[in-house]
Structure 1
Amino acid sequence: MMDWQDILARRAGRMKASEIRELLKLLDQPDIISFAGGIPDPALFPAADFKTAFHDIFSGAEAATALQYSVSEGYLPLRRWLAARMAALGVPCGPENILISSGSQQALDYLGKIFLTPADTALVTWPTYLGALGAFNAYEPRYDRLLPRGNRTAEDIAAAAREAGGRAKFAYLSPDFANPTGETLDRAGREAVLELADTLDLAVIEDAAYQDLRYDGEAIPPMLALEIARKGSIEACRTVYCGSFSKTLSPGLRVGWVCAESSLISRLVLLKQAADLHSATLNQMAVHRVAEAGFDAQVARARAAYRARRDRMLAALERHMPAGVSWTEPEGGMFVWVTVPEPLDGAALLARAVSHHKVAFVPGRAFFPDATGGNTLRLSFSATDGEAIEEGIRRVGAVLQEALQPA
């Protein structure tokens, strides 16, 4: 038999199975209440609108276009719609500043590929999005803390990067309702990241996957908008905005986008050409039709549903969590981050939760580049509704009560 290990590239050893992808298999077990997958509720998908969109595409002259090869940049009407949407967020731009990707996950992979040389440093939040670590790991970076970083100065960060054999290349963060913590970075924090990036000459990767899902509080401008306000034009900016329709319209169609300075977009287009030529034109056309006809109404519907589930989960946590357990109270998004007393370990808690209590969550360690954070858990409220949230949190509380009992 072929021994593939002997000929695999070194970077293949850094590619690990996603704990969340594996946990999603639990959703197929009807007796498990799952807070594991950070996925939208399929009952909220605009299925009828997509059915009409696909029918209309195939009923007219656009059918040939939908089934043919297309440009790597993406479907021009969709890029124009996105440019207008970005302008409404404080990011004046044109279609030349937009690249359509196969979900924002592909965009993260491309950005890791284009920025990282082995031993370079990626600054990330601590914890950070597991999918970002998966995307960047193949390019063999070193990770350092973006937030929080204590009293470390920009020069401290630069010196540590040089000592590791490379340089700091980008800061990655999800400033709105971050995965996994649900936390939002305030305006002052965003400005501080932009200042750090200017000092260190870094790119800033702004993962805006959850930005539309705000339930409470005042909206904060995207980091790209704040940088444009400082510098006058997107063409002078170092922020790369990654957006997605996965949390609002459909994850299965795999349509995301990158908005950035045009010369960087041109370089990313070359990666797109080499990787998959272009994202599925048919899907882009359908997303454009549905978004143009009623994006804001669809987002309002999703917000109302997820806000109610968030509120129910937070209330259930108050009722059922034992003393010593704390959690975040997100203003939007899909996640609540739970911290349990040490030395409890999330992976061991999950094993007991599934086998004895039929409830699932994501252990927090996977979200930390240094595999710390064993005493943390991520709970998602987006795909569970009603009494299942109350009962599921009661079961999580029972797991923790048992684990905290003296031996």
Structure 2
Amino acid sequence: MLNWDTMFASRSSRMRASEIRELLKLLDRPDIISFAGGIPDPALFPDQEFKQAYADIFESTAVNSALQYSVSEGYKPLREWLVGQMVSLGIPCELDNVFIVSGSQQGLDYLGKLFLSPNDTALVTWPTYLGALQAFNAYEPAYDQLTPSGNRTPESYRAAAAAAGGKVKFAYLSADFSNPTGETVDLAGRRKVLALAEELDIAVIEDAAYQSLRYDGEPIPPILALEIAEKGHINDTRTIYCGSFSKTLAPGLRVGFIVANAPVIRKLVLMKQAADLHSSTINQMAISDVAERGFDAQVAKIKAVYMRRRDCMLAALQKYMPKGTSWTKPEGGMFIWITLPEGMDGAKLLAKSLETAKVAFVPGKAFFADGSGANTFRLSFSCANDQMIEDGISRLGKLIADEIGG
């Protein structure tokens, strides 16, 4: 018999199924209340706006270019709109600084491929976005813990990277309402990350997938904006800003973007040409049309709904969670992070919860590059109505209390 395992590249051994992707299958089970999927509520998609956008494309001469091969950099009117958006965030840039990808997940994969040789080190937070770990794993890196509020020395990072057989190449973080914790890096923490990157001479990958979803608190400038203010021009910066329309308009169209200095963008364009030539042109055109006509109104609509659901979940947690548990209080995004008493295991709790309480969540261990965090789990409130939240958190609180007491 043919043994495929002997033929696969060594990097394939680091590929793992996403626990979140597997848990999303539970959304089809009517008996399960799911707080697992970190996905937007489809009831909030601007479906009529997209219906009109696609109709307009097919009823015009633009349909020929929409269905044809296109440039790898991305649809020019969409990139021009993004230039305007970036300026509003304190990130003045030009067309050559904006690159369209097939969802920001593809952008993370490209950046892993661009920077990481086997045994190089990626700095990530503990915990961090699981999809980033999956994207980077294919390039066989080592990981070290990024602590934006800490005081670890650059020398210690260099030494650890050398011991792993490579160099530190980048720091990856989500500064606003991160997946999975919902936490935000404060201004001082962002400046510390930039200072560390300067000392180590590495890139900073700023994952801004949830940046638009702030419900309260004062906005903090993106890391890239801080660096541009310090250095004067985007082409002199080391921060790479990754954005997405998945959380604001529609994830199924797979349109994301990267904003960075021109030399990095040029390299990414070459990678795009070798991988899939370009992202779907017609989807980019539709996104561009819908964004130009009403992006701010769409964001305001979803923020109002998600903020209410966040508040409902925080109130339910306060009401039903037993002593010994703690949770984050996010100012935006889609997630709340639960910490259980030491010794408890989120994965074992999930197995029991699915069997008895009929509530799904994501165990926290998968979000830690070092395999720690067993006593944590992630809740998402984006697709749950008030009654689901009340019932689900009540059941979950009782289950946890029984486990603590048992």
User: Normalising by the residue count of structure 1, what TM-score does the alignment of the two structures yield?
Assistant: 0.99
- 1:305 aligns with 305
Paired residue secondary structure (1:263): helix
Cα deviation digits, residues 101-150 of structure 1 (max 9, x gap): 00000000000000000000000011000000000000000000112685
Task: Determine whether 1:292 maps to 2:296.
Answer: no
Paired residue secondary structure (1:204): strand
Paired residue secondary structure (1:252): helix
Q: Matched residues in 1 for 2:87 and 2:263: separation?
A: 19
Residues 167-182 of structure 1 correspond to what in structure 2 (within 5 A)? 167-182=167-182
Cα deviation digits, residues 137-183 of structure 1 (max 9, x gap): 00000000112685421111111111211100000000000000000
Are the counterparts in 1 of residues 148 and 190 from structure 2 also a CA contact under 8 Å? no
Runs of 4+, deviation exceeding 6 Å: none
Q: Matched residues in 1 for 2:14 and 2:278: separation?
A: 27
- 2:265 aligns with 265
- 1:218 aligns with 218
Residues 111-130 of structure 1 correspond to what in structure 2 (within 5 A)? 111-130=111-130
- 2:64 aligns with 64
Residues 2-401 of structure 1 correspond to what in structure 2 (within 5 A)? 2-147=2-147, 150-401=150-401
Are the counterparts in 1 of residues 149 and 189 from structure 2 also a CA contact under 8 Å? no
Are the counterparts in 1 of residues 149 and 192 from structure 2 also a CA contact under 8 Å? no
Are the counterparts in 1 of residues 148 and 192 from structure 2 also a CA contact under 8 Å? no
Residues 136 and 171 of structure 1: CA distance in aligned 2, closer, same or farther (over 3 Å): same
* Superposition deviation, residue 2 in structure 1: 2.9
Q: Matched residues in 1 for 2:198 and 2:171: separation?
A: 11
Q: Matched residues in 2 for 1:202 and 1:117: separation?
A: 14
Are the counterparts in 2 of residues 325 and 341 from structure 1 also a CA contact under 8 Å? yes
Paired residue secondary structure (1:170): strand
* Superposition deviation, residue 22 in structure 1: 0.2
Provide the aligned length of Structure 1 versus Structure 2: 406
* Superposition deviation, residue 338 in structure 1: 0.3
Paired residue secondary structure (2:117): coil
Q: Matched residues in 1 for 2:274 and 2:380: separation?
A: 36
Q: Matched residues in 1 for 2:260 and 2:148: separation?
A: 26
Q: Matched residues in 2 for 1:163 and 1:18: separation?
A: 29
* Superposition deviation, residue 402 in structure 1: 1.7
Cα deviation digits, residues 326-369 of structure 1 (max 9, x gap): 00000000000000102110000000000111100000000000
Unmatched tracts of structure 2, length 5 or more: none
Unmatched tracts of structure 1, length 5 or more: none
Are the counterparts in 1 of residues 359 and 396 from structure 2 also a CA contact under 8 Å? yes
Q: Matched residues in 2 for 1:320 and 1:361: separation?
A: 16
Task: Determine whether 1:402 maps to 2:402.
Answer: yes
Q: Matched residues in 1 for 2:24 and 2:295: separation?
A: 28
Are the counterparts in 2 of residues 242 and 257 from structure 1 also a CA contact under 8 Å? yes
Paired residue secondary structure (1:205): strand
Q: Matched residues in 1 for 2:273 and 2:215: separation?
A: 38
Are the counterparts in 1 of residues 109 and 135 from structure 2 also a CA contact under 8 Å? yes
Are the counterparts in 2 of residues 126 and 148 from structure 1 also a CA contact under 8 Å? no
Identity %: 66
Q: Matched residues in 2 for 1:399 and 1:65: separation?
A: 56
Q: Matched residues in 2 for 1:387 and 1:15: separation?
A: 38
Q: Matched residues in 1 for 2:236 and 2:339: separation?
A: 41
Cα deviation digits, residues 39-69 of structure 1 (max 9, x gap): 0000000000000000000000000011000
Q: Matched residues in 2 for 1:152 and 1:198: separation?
A: 14
Cα deviation digits, residues 266-297 of structure 1 (max 9, x gap): 00001001110000000000000000000000
* Superposition deviation, residue 386 in structure 1: 1.6
User: Normalising by the residue count of structure 2, what TM-score does the alignment of the two structures yield?
Assistant: 0.99
Q: Matched residues in 1 for 2:31 and 2:178: separation?
A: 29
Cα deviation digits, residues 79-120 of structure 1 (max 9, x gap): 000011101111111111011000000000000000000000
* Superposition deviation, residue 391 in structure 1: 0.4
Are the counterparts in 1 of residues 203 and 240 from structure 2 also a CA contact under 8 Å? yes
